[in-house]
Amino acid sequence: MNITSRFRMKELYDYYENKMERCPFMQVVEGSSDGTVTVRGAEKIMIGSNNYLGLTNHPEVKEAAIKAVEKYGTGCTGSRLLNGNLDLHEQLETELADFLGKEAVIVYSTGFFSNSGTISTLIGPEDVMVCDRDNHASIVQGCLLTRAPMKRYQHNNMESLERQLAGIDENKEKFIITDGVFSMFGDICKLPEITNLARKYNAAVIVDDAHSIGVLGENGKGTEEHYGLQNEVDIVTGTFSKSFACVGGFAASSREVIRFLKATCPSFIFTASLPPSSVATVLASLKILKNDHARRKRLHTISNYVRNELNDMGFDTGGSQTPIIPIVIGDREKTIAAWEFLFDQGVFCNVSISPAVPKGCDLLRTSYIATHTDSQIDYVVETFRKMRNLLF
């Protein structure tokens, strides 16, 4: 059996087999600074990063990581349960819970675990999950692991959500699961309507705030704060790979829920704990996030400007409301040609094609950083304009 024939993306890699330097995936980054990366010796303006607040090169963040390595070494060489539970982990869980206004937090080694581990541990096979069709793969993976029925509602469609909820036995435990900000199209879940329906049908709500923390809300606390809600979400999950400039993830909820996860979740118990440098990075980023509101304002100023310009050019930006701004093209070859043009002009963005996005919605995924300069953003906009005139 030729196992490679089973790979869903095989045809794309076959297409680029002899010219991988032109492939939009797996480009080798040789260095980075605020708003730029170096690829094959050439500097590119990075508009494909989730480094929303621009903290990956912040001197205080880097210094915190270095000091943690000097004090603790490079890793914990064990799980939190056994020998890898540092005072830094405990400090991060306490500070993050306080910031989010939740009773407790569990820190995972990856953002993927935050969803897959939390969902698969808390939801049993007799329960029912109701999920947005555009939810992240880590949510879908967690749902599949539960062996519980999973019903999907049309993306951000509250009538579809209610139809699904109304069709469930009232004696079943029900969970509504959604992204806060959807990672491909940059739109925000309709949390007020979701929580109203949750109360009506006695369902718990889980929100993945991976792209929301640091971005949405007056203080960057995410989707709940964005809508002026407080403690309406039962469980908030998230990652440290976006606004927190690192890797890892978390779930925030009641003390009872977090205690249960720490005692039973395989993704927490049976994996090495987050390295000390990573925890220190997140703690330093959280401090900046809480105190430097100008970064978030700058991020939205840039994003709103670019979105308006793209819309004026006639691009389909997919209903974006956040620093994630797609350019929906639809045709795979045209999408890759557009990426190649931008890349050659010194602009690095991402390509998302089916099945990562719905069929016929192949797109360029762009996202913006608070540390982008005006001149960088002006260049990006003008390059989009040239691409529009030449390719469309």
Annotated catalytic residue 136: no
* Distance between CA atoms of residues 195 and 169, nearest Å: 19
Each residue's pLDDT tens digit, 131-181? 999 999 999 999 999 999 999 999 999 999 999 999 999 999 999 999 999
Q: Single out the catalytic residue among 183, 267, 277, 285.
A: 183
pLDDT value at residue 2: 57
Percentage of residues of the chain with pLDDT beyond 90: 90
Predicted structure pTM score: 0.94
DSSP string, 198-258: HHHTTEEEEEE-TTTTTTSSTTS--HHHHTT--S--SEEEEESSSTTSSS-EEEEE-HHHH
pLDDT value at residue 11: 59
Q: Single out the catalytic residue among 58, 136, 155, 211.
A: 211
With a cut of 70, list the residues of the chain below it in pLDDT.
1-21
Which alpha helices (DSSP H) does 101-190 contain, by range? Answer: 111-122, 137-146, 158-166
Beta strands 174-179; 203-208: pairing state: parallel
Each residue's pLDDT tens digit, 328-350? 999 999 999 999 999 999 999 99
Annotated catalytic residue 293: no
Q: Single out the catalytic residue among 212, 242, 253, 367.
A: 242
Average pLDDT, the chain: 94
Domains and CATH numbers, the chain: 9-46+293-391 (3.90.1150.10), 59-291 (3.40.640.10)
Annotated catalytic residue 174: no
Q: For the chain, give me the number of helices (H) and strands (E)?
A: 14, 14
